Amino acid sequence: MQCLLMNAGHSGRAWNAWKLTKYLKSRGFNQRFFKTAKSTLASDYELSPLLEITGLNRKPSSLEDFELLYTLTKEKCLSKKLPKNVNSRGVFVCNELDLSEVEVYGFDYDYTLACYKPCLHDLLYNLGRDMLIKKLKYPDAIAKLEYIPGFAVRGLHYDIEKGLLLKLDSFLQIQLGSVYRGLTKVPDQEVLKCYKNRILPIAYVEGQSKNHQPNIKAKMVQLADLFSVPEMCLLCNVAEYFEKNHIDYHPEIMFYDIKSAVQACHPIMHQIVMKDAEAYIEKNENLPKYFEKLLQSGKKLFLVTNSPYSFVNRGMTLLAGNNWREYFDVIIVQARKPKFFTDESRPIRLYDERNDSHVWDRVTRLEKGQIYYEGTVKQLQDLTGWRGHCVLYFGDHPYSDLADVTLEHGWRTGAIISELTHEINTLNNQEFKMSANWLQMLTQLIEENQDNESEPAKLCLQKWMQERDKLRKELRPKTTSPMPSYVHKCGVHELTKSSTYVQDIRTCKYL
């Protein structure tokens, strides 16, 4: 009977509704009356007069009261309708955008127009590992260390001095349980002893200059590039090998060795992918249709990428056909982002495809069908007149692709975040939804009663908080293992507030 009036709202209202229901039942009111009351007594405002009249207007005080309140809240949670599934291929808007104002669409290439298959990470990992052995004379035994898919996600920070890989939230707070030395999780107490605090100073973490290049005073480096995922895995594998075999090493030296080895492998990776593009690039039959739709609407298109032309040409030919260049009004390769968006001194140069060289002539206009090299966004804007909110640029890197063009040039930007597909599928899981709902209601129950100083309240609050903490830990591994994923909050209604990575973008209004 106590559940009849639960639709009224939160746990406090449920408590009031239960008291009134119990009282009315004791006075002989029939079942039909309770069904009517369920639909009419919908708020505390409507319940209060009746509670005053019946003398039931009191807060829970005894242990039995709090246990009953917990039961009522749990039953309300079980009766609550689960949220609808989120479309894993949806577009999530963090800021208002009127597409009728957008006249120019810009695109990055890697992980934006060209989405790579997971085997590319294996390739880059293996090339970097071999480079460590052959060029930098690392132990031959590390050749047996294989890439571990799913071990890490981008957005993690690496502490160069301490040799720790960890996750920070948007408030620079260490996410305990996400700190690793090699492949071994570091105990929470050791982490707190190491850093003295869960919240790190911005000066310790920031480590980036205006154009997001590593600062000489940096203590940490954020690995926000998708190409950095195999680099992170190699970093942890080698560190684990050294730790297990009691080999002394300097974390900073190892970090820069692995970073330089992986970067040096990119030209080799380009050649391998060009020979068998179908094996590494996901085909997208809708891409040419999308370009054609934009052109039919009178929009201008441009491509700005850090990759070399030969690599881009092979991939775009696979994705959009031999005449892919006809879709774009401007094509700029080897753009040196993020310097492309921040520097003003590097001139745009014309690329000679036949001789695989660069023309020395001054570029005074940008022509469709030509390939350009380097340059700056200032020159691009001066030569085309594409400025401000009329430009919408898509990329995958929140800093190199999105931050500077928004903050410095007023472009609108779109982030291609492939990891959200996995996280949305997790959020859409029925068990996850039920657990997230209960966590939300349990947290609210704690908040509504935390100012109660009675002994029964303190006892129940301690019990409820233990259950809440346990539930949080149970939900966390359901996203990504072993490192926590972007989803660190259990909000299933607003996806953009569920992700640290997305929240960073949202807070800074990069979108």
The residues annotated with a catalytic role in the active site are 108, 110
Nearest to 443 by CA among 490, 503, 494: 490
Angle at the Cα of 126 from the Cα atoms of 122 and 129, rounded to 5 degrees: 140
- Report helix, strand and coil shares of the chain as percent, to nearest 5: 50, 10, 40
Spell out the residues 6+ positions from residue 229 whose beta carbon is closer than 8 angstroms to its own: 121, 152, 153, 154, 223
Residue 331, SS3 per DSSP: strand
What would you measure as the largest C-alpha separation in the chain, in angstroms? 97
CA distance linking residue 207 with residue 219, whole number of Å: 6
Chain Cα centroid distance, residue 375: 30
Angle at the Cα of 179 from the Cα atoms of 182 and 467, rounded to 5 degrees: 135
Which residue is listed with tokens 């190699």? 234
| Number of continuous H segments (helices) and E segments (strands) in the chain | 20, 13
CA distance linking residue 10 with residue 477, whole number of Å: 29
Strand ranges for 63-200 from DSSP E: 104-107, 156-159, 164-166, 180-181, 184-185
CA distance linking residue 131 with residue 146, whole number of Å: 14
CA distance linking residue 285 with residue 320, whole number of Å: 8
The reply to whether omega before 139 is within 30° of 0 (cis) is no
Strand ranges for 46-172 from DSSP E: 104-107, 156-159, 164-166
Three-state SS sequence of 333-399: ECCCCCHHHHCCCCCEEEEECCCCEECCCCCCCCCCCCEEEECCHHHHHHHHCCCHHHEEEEECCHH
Please check whether residue 147 is in contact with residue 230, taking contact to mean a CB–CB distance below 8 angstroms.
yes
Spell out the residues 6+ positions from residue 25 whose beta carbon is closer than 8 angstroms to its own: 1, 34
**C-alpha neighbours within 13 Å on the C-beta side of residue 315:** 25
Neighbours of 356 (CB within 10 A): 10
CA distance linking residue 157 with residue 166, whole number of Å: 5
Q: Long-range pairs for 492-498 at CB < 8 Å and ≥24 separation?
A: 492/83, 492/86, 492/427, 492/432, 492/433, 492/436, 492/437, 493/83, 495/86, 495/92, 495/420, 495/424, 495/427, 496/92, 496/94, 498/423, 498/427
